[in-house]
């Protein structure tokens, strides 16, 4: 009787494991894209600063960063798993040949 009444302790369960990774409003693969944009803009600034000067380097930094962020936001708005959307009507004559 005592063994049936024995209750095991309850532990909280983390249920967020099936969600996509999210950081500062960006999800999944777009976090890596943002890291690439940030790294590319810094590298572009360094190269442009060495070759042409501070103002040109700053312009390159601003252009690459703003373009990258805009592309990421546009792509993310379409969805995390974007696929090519075929427009029109497709007619399949044969699915398998007999």
Give the CA angle between residues 61, 34, 22 to the nearest 5°.
150
pLDDT in tens, 36-70: 999 999 999 999 999 999 999 999 999 999 999 99
pLDDT in tens, 3-41: 566 777 777 766 666 666 777 777 777 888 899 999 999
pTM of the model: 0.60
Distance CA 83, CA 7 (A): 50
């Amino acid at each position: 009787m005592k063994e049936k009444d024995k209750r095991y302790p309850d532990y909280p369960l983390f249920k967020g494991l099936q969600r996509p990774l999210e950081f500062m409003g960006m999800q999944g693969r777009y976090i890596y894209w943002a890291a690439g944009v940030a790294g590319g803009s810094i590298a572009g600034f360094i190269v442009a600063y060495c070759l042409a000067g501070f103002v040109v380097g700053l312009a390159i930094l601003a252009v690459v960063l703003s373009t990258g962020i805009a592309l990421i936001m546009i792509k993310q708005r379409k969805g995390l798993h974007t696929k090519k959307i075929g427009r029109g009507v497709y007619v399949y004559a044969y699915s398998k040949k007999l």
